[in-house]
Amino acid sequence: MNLRQRYESASKPKLWTYIVLRVTVIAVMVAQIFNQNWHNVFLCVLTLLLFMLPSIVSRRFKVELPNALEIIIVCFIFSAEVLGEIQQFYLTVPFWDVMLHGVNGFLSAAMGLALVNTLNEDEHVMMHLSPLFVVLTEFGFSMMVGVLWEFFECAMDLLFHTDMQKDTWISAIHSVDLNESVLNDPVHLTIESVAVNGAPLGDGTRYLDIGLYDTMKDLAFNFIGAIVFSIFGWFYVKKRSNFAAHFLLRKKRDDTAPQDDQRQSG
């Protein structure tokens, strides 16, 4: 299938999504070149390359991506890289980061269900899993992806001194290390003043956490996204509901098979 046939076979919403997002990314990249912000230029180039990921996966693994799934994936990439990083939505828009983690949990669960369900329905695989086990497997797959991403964020912060695991201001500490009696009872302290190198930290009344709360919040929303799709996934495996099918990878059909059968019959 050549490029023209591919675009003609694509749905109009998916086609227009790609056109609008790619033109927007290129416009942002040109603006960043004029501003000589080479880090953002790299992010734009990375975004354009990631836009090619669905088609690469489709060709490499011989699978079909539903239009709804592909649209959500490219919108997710655009929201994370261009809006989140370049336009700084992570800092200016409340809950932008956790929203993306929720979508990531939803999409990862869809990927997990597609993988397990493909094996479950393959006639050459001597295995048949119950709907509950399939759902638990897809949920575990989604949470594993979320944990691996948090490992990546932590590694980037430690090795390259980034701030992917955003800090959180807290006003109280609960720790057994502050118990002078060396007992396993946490001491609860309200923070009244904080100084670093002799200067007040922030407004001087709060402590700056170094990513723990952000990590747990991200995993919590990943958990919510995985739970939401797992509910739809259970109905799909159990009763073949149509909603989850819009987000599941499918094996490409062998269009040559009917022709071979006709040729043999002829």
Report the pLDDT value the prediction gives residue 264, as an integer from 0 to 100: 41
Please name the residues in contact with 37: beta carbons below 8 A apart, sequence gap of 6 or more: none
Report the pLDDT value the prediction gives residue 181, as an integer from 0 to 100: 87
Please name the residues in contact with 136: beta carbons below 8 A apart, sequence gap of 6 or more: none
- pTM for the full predicted model: 0.86
User: Over the stretch 235-257, which tens digit does the pLDDT of each residue have?
Assistant: 998 877 778 988 988 887 655 44
173's enclosing H/E stretch is strand 172-175
Report the pLDDT value the prediction gives residue 5, as an integer from 0 to 100: 54
Please name the residues in contact with 146: beta carbons below 8 A apart, sequence gap of 6 or more: 101, 104, 105, 108, 218, 219, 222, 223, 226
Nearest Cα residue to 89 out of 78, 104, 105? 78
CB 164 within 8 A of CB 157: yes
Residues of the chain with pLDDT under 70: 1-10, 121-127, 253-266
The β-bridge partners of 174 are 188
Please name the residues in contact with 212: beta carbons below 8 A apart, sequence gap of 6 or more: 168
